[in-house]
Chains A and B, each alone.
Chain A
Amino acid sequence: MAAVAQPRSPMHLLDPKVLASLSNLELVAKAAVEGFVIGLHRSPKFGFSQEFVEYRAYGEGDDPRYIDWNVYARTDKTYIKRFLGETNSHLMILLDSSASMGYGSQGLTKLQVGKFLGASLAYMASRQHDAVGVMVFADEVLSYRPPASRSGSLQGVIHTLDHAQAQQGTAIAKPMTRFQEHIRRRGLVVVISDFYCDTQELLDNVRPLAVQGQDVILFHLLDPGELAPDIKQSTLFEDMETGHAVEVAPNFMQKEYRERINAHIAGIQKAAQGMNCDHVLINTSDSLDKALHSYLTFREKRG
């Protein structure tokens, strides 16, 4: 009997491998978010409705297209319309593009997954008329776009993400200091990184953001090869950032290494909790579903 072809679930679009086959990052973001949204049960909590809710005063960074000119004619003041689901938020995506983000044991690097995630978040925020900005950093700020919700700003953010390349080392202090100098308004800050830095250093640099009133979510990207490495013979590992090489035995990687990496993850998680930030560990072989869910939950929680 001939097999009947089953229609594939839209959720398959969240698989990073599927997304990697799409050449355009904007298309990737759209595919990921649409796939994600279709999979959601309609809920006012996660509303993507365009239903009018209220007017609010126009502020810097708001799209002038949403100014209600009738109200302006009557009151001589600029107001913009707010819809259901809008939170008047600024989303700032901080993407780590250090050399270690170029690691990928299964064909897809952490940086690629980070780009997918960043683009999807930007697309999702853009749909909700949030202003979106991006900063790509390694041991310094490599590119920066301030948050904006104007027409074309999404393409600008995606373009910036798309051009990120894995290079240089990781030093979170300098980029974070620069970022603090630029950020003016309260909003959401998403940090996408493998966080190969000292926990204390992370704490010291993210804490001021929390103090400023920014809502910070840390997407901790790790490859399966980093979380659960499996080597059959003695291997000389070369650090992608420093070039330092270490010959490691299989049994070490099976046991001691895993203990160490888990302790590191736990340390980051603990530090995030201490700053009232969210920490989401992303295995780059998993779908983006978890990450997008985390974002929406986080946004709802803070919004």
Chain B
Amino acid sequence: MSLITPLFLLGLLGIAFPWWLHRLEMQTTEREKFATTRFLEASKKRIHVQRKLKYLLLMALRMAFLALLAFAFARPILFDDPQIVASDDNVHHVIVVDTSFSMHEGTRLQQARELADTILDNMESGDVASLYAASTRITTLSEATDSADEVREQLPALIADNGRLDIGAMIASLNGLLEDSQAAVMLHVISDFQLSGQAVRFADMIPDVINGRPVTLDVQSVVNAATPNAMVESVIIENRNSVSAAVRSFNGELTTGEKQVHLSINGVEQQMLELPATSNGSALVQFNDVVFGEGDNRVDINLTPTDTLADDDIRYTVFDNSPPAPVLLLTPDTSSLGITYLSAALATAPRRYAVEPNAVEDFDPRVLQRYPWLIVEDLGAVNPTLAAALADYVRGGGSVFAALGPRSGSLTSVPVLDIAVSAPLPGRDTVPAAISRIDTSHPALNKSSGWNNVNVHAMKVVPTGDDNILISQGNDTPVLIERNIGAGRFMLYASSLDNSTSDLPVKPVFVSFMAEVAQYLSNEKLLVKAQTADSYLQLIQSGSGSGQVVDPTGKNLLSLQDTTLAQDVLLNLTGYYQVFTAGGEVLVAVNPDSRESDLALMTTETLQNWQASVAGASGNGSTVATDVELAAARTDAGDEIEIWRFFLLLMALLVLAESLLGNRYLNLKTGTY
């Protein structure tokens, strides 16, 4: 039983009983309002006050007895382990140096090294020190050691990277790293203490107190005031010939012409503009008539002259100017409305597609293999030969998205899928049933919304067990079904792709739906081409399980073995990473976190509060670990001493004292002694 067990707490309430009993006996003084006390005089002490004192002693004895009884039932245990007492003699100096992107500014990092050096100089005999670099992640540069020189040797390894320091995350990481430390911890944080690095919740900046170990915080700032800084915040490319760059100025405005903005495409400077004066810290420049190359383009926007934090004066962007991917569209009528709708939708997809309409009658099935996926506008127009060719195409790994257009009205079974049609296409004068079920977990539907507003007159097909119903109406009529055939996929939309029997093509959901269908059926995965420094590139997004990655310095990041195994690659440099996969070469632009560019500082009050809060949380060395923590930490110790026996002994003594005192009081009261 522990000291927080409800039964124990209930037992502890028993000590209120003597208090209540004694309160019944106490003489109380009436309290009354009176007009004036100028004529009153305090009465002399009376005998009952003296008696009350003795009475209180008796009450205290009885309460102590009951409390001990309750404690004894809790079976308290003492742990005979010297390690649980935190030693104030030995101090573990945990030196954490900020190496985030903002530390590139001026001489911040050099100052941080010097401050760390001073801390090591002041170490006392028996103290230990460890050194950590803090950015997006915590890097251990030196484990805890009593040799200051060993730690000092690692100071040159403190190098500013391109990550972002969040103090809350830093403290969370340190909690894990310091779990095993048994000494009192002096946490030295050396940083520029950017305002953007402050944790959202102040409580997140307070380190855990583990094993009753006292933690003291020492914050050492390398700067005293906010520094002005300008950066290129974002780049927007429109109409394939226009580039807009947003420039942000922190801690001061820029005047017109103070900076020039340069645009370079694939390393060649194309244009230069003067930056207009910033307003509320922002200014926008637009470059027109920009010429891009085919495929991925490296778009650099840089500011000159550079400021003291030069690395954010350039912004790297990748613009994909690849030609649209061809998509075969088999149609009974090459001038149908469906072609228009499909072409428009697929042209606006993230990966552009160019629809190539082909008349079903004239189509040569042998060219099917040129396309990774295709669209059949009306399966009713497909002849048996083409149906057989399509089935072979799908089995071989191709994918088909097919619809049941006006010519499917007389079908009794759906070609390729060979499933029955139980009812013909309903007339337009009937009210279509509402869409009632959508499988949003399907890759082709997880971003689509707005299907509930779509009106579809769907042919009633009878799916088999092999078919996956993705969308259905309230009357159990499937609207979209999918079947895996061999290595390929076949998706059937049980209505038309023009607006004759369905208004889907004229609804906004059609664009996102077709984009997802295209990405899903073409088996094409897209890498995120704009990344923040110190994040991970997930190679799985490239559509291939692996590949080679070349960093901005031209260095191959993966060994030959890793190219087949590696899933995630750390992007620790700014610039362009080249990703080579089976699908081809892709560029990824990496820029520092823009929050690091804001060099505004945390206030002195915040830093003082932080220090005070850490001291308060750890009790300045007087903290005692809770029962649970002690029990958890010491389960292996084995040296447990049960003290309930001592409690019983003490209780016996209390009973004796209570009897003697109680008798004396009774004699006094009754006067029969």
A and B part of one assembly: yes
CB proximity of A229 to chain B, nearest CB, Å? 8
Q: A235-B29, A247-B29 are in contact. Are A196 and B40 (CB under 8 A)?
A: no
CB contact between A240 and one of B36, B41, B43 (< 8 Å): that residue:
B36
Which B residues are in CB contact (< 8 Å) with A196? Answer: 35-36, 38
Q: A233-B30, A236-B29, A239-B34 are in contact. Are A264 and B40 (CB under 8 A)?
A: no
B30 touches A246 (CB 8 A): no
Digit string of B153-194 for contact with A (CB within 8 Å is 1, else 0)?
000000000000000000000000000000000000000000
Which B residues are in CB contact (< 8 Å) with A238? Answer: 31-34, 37
- Number of A interface residues in the complex (CB < 8 A): 31
Quick one: which of A207-265 are within 8 Å of B by CB? 223, 226, 231, 233-242, 244-249, 252, 256-257, 260-261, 264
Which B residues are in CB contact (< 8 Å) with A153? Answer: none
Is B39 part of the contact surface with A, judged by Cβ < 8 Å? Answer: yes
A103 touches B39 (CB 8 A): no
CB proximity of B44 to chain A, nearest CB, Å? 8
- Prevailing SS type, chain B contact patch: loop
- Prevailing SS type, chain A contact patch: mixed
CB contact between A257 and one of B31, B33, B35, B40 (< 8 Å): that residue:
B40
Which B residues are in CB contact (< 8 Å) with A231? Answer: 30
CB-nearest residue of chain A to B34: A237
CB proximity of A261 to chain B, nearest CB, Å? 6
Which of B36, B37, B41 has the largest count of A CB atoms less than 10 A from its CB? B36
CB proximity of B494 to chain A, nearest CB, Å? 85
Which B residues are in CB contact (< 8 Å) with A244? Answer: 37
Is B46 part of the contact surface with A, judged by Cβ < 8 Å? Answer: yes
A110 touches B32 (CB 8 A): no
Which A residues are in CB contact (< 8 Å) with B34? Answer: 103, 237-240
Which A residues are in CB contact (< 8 Å) with B46? Answer: 234
CB-nearest residue of chain A to B44: A249
Q: A235-B29, A236-B29 are in contact. Are A248 and B35 (CB under 8 A)?
A: no
B32 touches A261 (CB 8 A): no
CB proximity of B151 to chain A, nearest CB, Å? 65
Is A130 part of the contact surface with B, judged by Cβ < 8 Å? Answer: no
CB contact between B37 and one of A233, A239, A249, A261 (< 8 Å): that residue:
A239
The answer for the CA separation of A231 and B43 in the assembled complex, in Å, is 13
Digit string of A253-283 for contact with B (CB within 8 Å is 1, else 0)?
0001100110010000000000000000000
Is B268 part of the contact surface with A, judged by Cβ < 8 Å? Answer: no
CB proximity of B541 to chain A, nearest CB, Å? 76
B39 touches A260 (CB 8 A): yes
Quick one: which of B1-46 are within 8 Å of A by CB? 29-44, 46
The answer for the CA separation of A264 and B37 in the assembled complex, in Å, is 13
Which B residues are in CB contact (< 8 Å) with A260? Answer: 39
- Number of B interface residues in the complex (CB < 8 A): 17
The answer for the CA separation of A241 and B37 in the assembled complex, in Å, is 9
A246 touches B36 (CB 8 A): no
CB proximity of B667 to chain A, nearest CB, Å? 25
Q: A248-B41, A248-B42 are in contact. Are A241 and B36 (CB under 8 A)?
A: yes
Which A residues are in CB contact (< 8 Å) with B42? Answer: 246-248
Which of A223, A231, A237 has the largest count of B CB atoms less than 10 A from its CB? A237
CB contact between B35 and one of A100, A252, A256 (< 8 Å): that residue:
A100
Is A62 part of the contact surface with B, judged by Cβ < 8 Å? Answer: no
Is A26 part of the contact surface with B, judged by Cβ < 8 Å? Answer: no
Quick one: which of B37-84 are within 8 Å of A by CB? 37-44, 46
Which of B34, B35, B39 has the largest count of A CB atoms less than 10 A from its CB? B35
Which A residues are in CB contact (< 8 Å) with B37? Answer: 237-239, 242, 244-246
Q: A235-B29, A236-B30 are in contact. Are A226 and B35 (CB under 8 A)?
A: yes
Digit string of B434-466 for contact with A (CB within 8 Å is 1, else 0)?
000000000000000000000000000000000
19 pairs, A vs B, C-beta closer than 8 Å:
A100-B35, A101-B35, A103-B33, A103-B34, A103-B35, A194-B35, A194-B36, A235-B32, A237-B34, A237-B37, A238-B32, A239-B35, A240-B35, A244-B37, A245-B37, A246-B37, A249-B44, A252-B41, A260-B39
Which residues does A use to contact B, with CB under 8 Å? 100-101, 103, 110, 194, 196, 223, 226, 231, 233-242, 244-249, 252, 256-257, 260-261, 264
Known: A237-B34, A246-B37. 12 other contacts (CB 8 A): A194-B36, A196-B35, A234-B30, A234-B46, A236-B32, A237-B32, A238-B31, A238-B37, A239-B34, A239-B37, A240-B33, A240-B34
